Amino acid sequence: MKRLAIAICFLLLALSVQARGIREESDLVHEQARISYAFGMTVGGDLQQTGLAIEYAAFAEGFKAAMEQENTKLDRDEALELVQNAFERALLKRYAQLRDDEITFLAENAAGKGVTVTESGLQYVVLQEGSGPKPGPNDTVIVHYEGALVDGTVFDSSYPQGQPEEIPLDMVIPGWAEGIQLMSMGGKYLFYIPSNLAYGEYGAGQFIPPYSTLVFTVELIDIIDGQEPDEES
């Protein structure tokens, strides 16, 4: 994954228009200028997310030398090694900070009113207690739900379409499966799912960063028995 990120960064640089100079500002009047600016934004955004600090003058000098095929101050292998090592250090630092932030959040949240913590570390609050049976690990449930990050950013929800969803519990993240099995039909719970019960150190796509605690509000509407029938002898 890290090598892919580095490769993409260099690909973006290589695909940039062949500039014959780097100016402080661009008026973006011409299409070539707009495309160049867009590439700069893309690469800059990726670098900013890693937490890498860049010296713009040195970056521009190396970029210009490579684009115009001038003699560079570093050979290619040395440059690639420096970039890879810098990415790895930046990512390790960022991941460590994200992990520390999650530990702090979970510790503080566990002391909140009405919060129960299970043995696995799952945290939940009963918003409305249900009645009757609880689902098992092989069951399929019909639920309304909303999933968000701890900052309130919603990444998934069944509410906008106005229809609950049918979800097999053996096909979801461990924290979700564990939490739903605590509920009875008609119940509504708020779950705080630690990253080790969700998407861990890698996150999921562009919406769920590494070491993200997920906050789910779930209403259990129905249970579909998922037990397989006994085989005939």
Active site (catalytic) residues: 145, 155-156, 173, 199, 216
Beta strands in 68-213 (DSSP E): 116-117, 123-128, 140-149, 154-157, 165-168, 188-193
Closest-CA residue to 216 (of 171, 131, 158, 142):
158
Which residue type does 116 have?
T
Which SS3 state, helix, strand or coil, does residue 116 take? strand
Closest-CA residue to 122 (of 196, 207, 208):
196
Quote the CA–CA distance of 128 and 189 in Å, as a whole number.
Answer: 7
Which SS3 state, helix, strand or coil, does residue 50 take? helix
Produce one character per residue of 93-117: b if its CB has 16 or more CB atoms within 10 Å, e if not.
Answer: ebbeebeeebeeebeebeeeeeeee
Closest-CA residue to 182 (of 157, 218, 231):
218
